[in-house]
Amino acid sequence: MKIRMILLFFIYLLLTTHYSLFAYSPGKNSFSFLKIPVSARISASNGGSVLAEGRDAWYKNPAALAFKIESNFEFSRNAWFLHTYMNTVSFNRWHFGLRLSQYSISDKERDLSGFPVSEFENRYSVLNFSYGFKLKRYTGFGITYKKISQKIYHENYNHSAFDFGLLLLPNVRTSIGIVLSNFGSKKKFLEVKEALPTEFLFGVRYKMGRFFISSEAKYNPDEKMLYLLGLEFKKTKNFTLRIGSSYQDDLNISFGIGLEEENYFLDIAFLPNGTFDYSLITSAGLRF
């Protein structure tokens, strides 16, 4: 009964937000920074909606916190294109997760003719509070509240958003995930109301020995359907190889590695950015 109610809840959110929240193209407004990846592991091989294990499993789908995942303190550094930088600190324990992401994006102030007159940085921060619980023994539900702070063109703005996630583990090899991310109302910037980059993600993950295969579909009415494929190969206990594809018009191949030594870990990911070649994301931290 609980699972049925949760599924109906997801359908209701999709139907009620289709017109109101997707009115503006994501990636082209003041909330575009929310689409920048925060995890090197997930970025390299995708599968963020279906991870039930690992230190960053709850980043994309908070329902992972319903299951027993190790406690971690992690720091991530993201060097994105166009002089965009992001630092993330996260901590999770038991069924709770806390994550702070801070962004800085260089920009130029221009006069009426378009000539640059000064340089400045737009700054953004997102504080995430996540919680996951079990609906049944092998079914978890999670929610993330996001407190968003922005400084754009010397003006300060605050907003809120939510992520909802459902995770099912039908057997020891398979996981199925559903995520609705960045759900919330529009925000007025100057004279224009802009919408959050809300998106719906559905995925399946299958384990075959040391191989982990994931397949996802990402839905957003303002863009073409995005199909995500990923492969993780745990070569040894301390070394993992990853490769993924975000297929839209091109394959968009991503790849990366993961290193672990006792309680320390390091993940590196290279992500395609079209004419900007590849962006580098690194994640390092401590497990306890």
- Residue-wise pLDDT tens digits, 232-284: 999 888 999 999 998 876 788 999 999 988 778 889 998 876 655 677 888 88
In this model, does residue 50 exceed pLDDT 50?
yes
Per cent of the chain over pLDDT 70 is 79
Measure CA 231 to chain center.
Answer: 18
DSSP state of 115: -
Instruction: Give the range of the structural domain holding residue 79, as residue numbers without chain letter.
Output: 2-229
Is 89 part of any domain? yes
What number is the average pLDDT over the span 62-91?
Answer: 81
Per cent of the chain over pLDDT 90 is 36
Is 36 part of any domain? yes
Q: What is the pLDDT of residue 278?
A: 73
Q: What is the pLDDT of residue 55?
A: 79
The total number of structural domains in the chain stands at: 1
- Pairing assessment for the beta strands 211-219 and 226-236 based on DSSP bridges: antiparallel
Could you tell me the pTM of the whole model?
0.82
Is 137 part of any domain? yes
Q: How far is CA 250 from CA 32, 120, 246, in A?
A: 21, 34, 8
Q: How far is CA 99 from CA 4, 93, 146, 194, in A?
A: 30, 12, 9, 24
What number is the average pLDDT over the span 160-178?
Answer: 95
Is 265 part of any domain? no
Q: What is the pLDDT of residue 7?
A: 52
H or E element in which residue 10 lies: helix 2-17
What number is the average pLDDT over the span 179-189?
Answer: 85
Is 7 part of any domain? yes
Is 286 part of any domain? no
Name the β-bridge partners of 174: 206
Is 260 part of any domain? no
pLDDT in tens, 219-230: 987 778 889 999
Q: What is the pLDDT of residue 27?
A: 41
Q: What is the pLDDT of residue 28?
A: 45
What number is the average pLDDT over the span 204-208?
Answer: 94
In this model, does residue 133 exceed pLDDT 90?
yes
Q: What is the pLDDT of residue 121?
A: 73
